A and B are shown apart, each in its own frame.
Chain A
């Protein structure tokens, strides 16, 4: 996926159904994520999240229980979120046995709508390094110079 930003994962000692509830039930979400949120977990649903004194709109993209959940946020208010003007947050849950779940999150954005598909594919193929690693490596190189 072009424009990849962040990928993180964690191994949780709980069945996939429990992890799914934790990441998608609004009263649970307000414990690990936004301070306050209005959100219906349905594809295409528009909602709102508040972090301290800041807030913003969010649109649910994929709801595929109990393995895939994604939403878009960080887009200009008044606009519909699309690839290119927003960040996409994707959760993937993979059961590892009955009592264990691997939870992976990818936050990506700025997919550059105007790229030709061949260029996107090339980038996806070559994308070994995330932005974090890239900028981190450059900053380290610079510091040594």
Chain B
């Protein structure tokens, strides 16, 4: 994933209202914007705006059925996002483990030196 896609993805997921919309789509499969609007504490216009951002980030797709437009989650993309974020967390775990090792070794060294000096 490029840095640019990461940016779009993360800012899409960062918004709590969009997370609510995503949550509903994951739990309910394919639904319309008005169905969603009936289940969130914000306006139909806001729902439409959030759907546009989520679609641009590749997290959802739309399909026309008769007069209705139905939205659903793109499982691959969401999975990719989950893995990218888990990797970020794992990276920090590795760095913290290294900091721990370095600091503990430095501390042991300090103590040894103090014993010799004292």
A31-B82 contact in complex given A105-B92, A134-B13, C-beta closer than 8 Å: no
Contact status A10-B100, CB under 8 Å: yes
Chain A residues, Cβ within 8 Å of B96: 8-10, 103, 105
Contact status A8-B26, CB under 8 Å: no
Out of A5, A15, A101, A138, name the residue touching B10 (CB < 8 Å): A5
Chain A residues, Cβ within 8 Å of B69: none
Q: How far is the CA of A127 from the CA of B79 in the complex (A)?
A: 22
0/1 string, B12-23, CB within 8 A of A gives 1 = 011110010011
Q: How far is the CA of A2 from the CA of B16 in the complex (A)?
A: 9
Q: How far is the CA of A119 from the CA of B100 in the complex (A)?
A: 38
Answer whether residue A22 sits at the interface, using C-beta atoms and an 8 A cutoff: yes
Interface of B is mostly: helix
Number of B residues, CB within 8 Å of A: 38
- B26-66 contacts to A (CB < 8 Å): 26-27, 29
Q: Closest residue of chain A to B16, judged by CB?
A: A123
- B residues in contact (CB < 8 Å) with A: 3, 7, 10-11, 13-16, 19, 22-23, 26-27, 29, 73, 75, 78-79, 81-82, 85-86, 88-89, 92-93, 95-100, 102-104, 106-107, 110
Q: Closest residue of chain A to B101, judged by CB?
A: A32
- A residues in contact (CB < 8 Å) with B: 2-3, 5-6, 8-10, 12-15, 18-19, 21-23, 28, 31-33, 74, 99, 101, 103, 105, 107, 109-110, 112, 122-123, 126-127, 131-132, 134-136, 138-139, 141-143, 145
Chain B residues, Cβ within 8 Å of A135: 13, 78, 81-82, 85
Smallest Cβ distance from B76 to chain A, in angstroms?
10
Chain B residues, Cβ within 8 Å of A138: 22-23, 26, 73, 78, 82
Contact status A5-B100, CB under 8 Å: no
Out of A6, A22, A32, name the residue touching B106 (CB < 8 Å): A22
Known: A22-B106, A123-B16. 7 other contacts (CB 8 A): A5-B10, A31-B98, A32-B102, A131-B10, A132-B85, A138-B22, A143-B79
Contact status B103-A18, CB under 8 Å: yes
Chain A residues, Cβ within 8 Å of B79: 139, 142-143
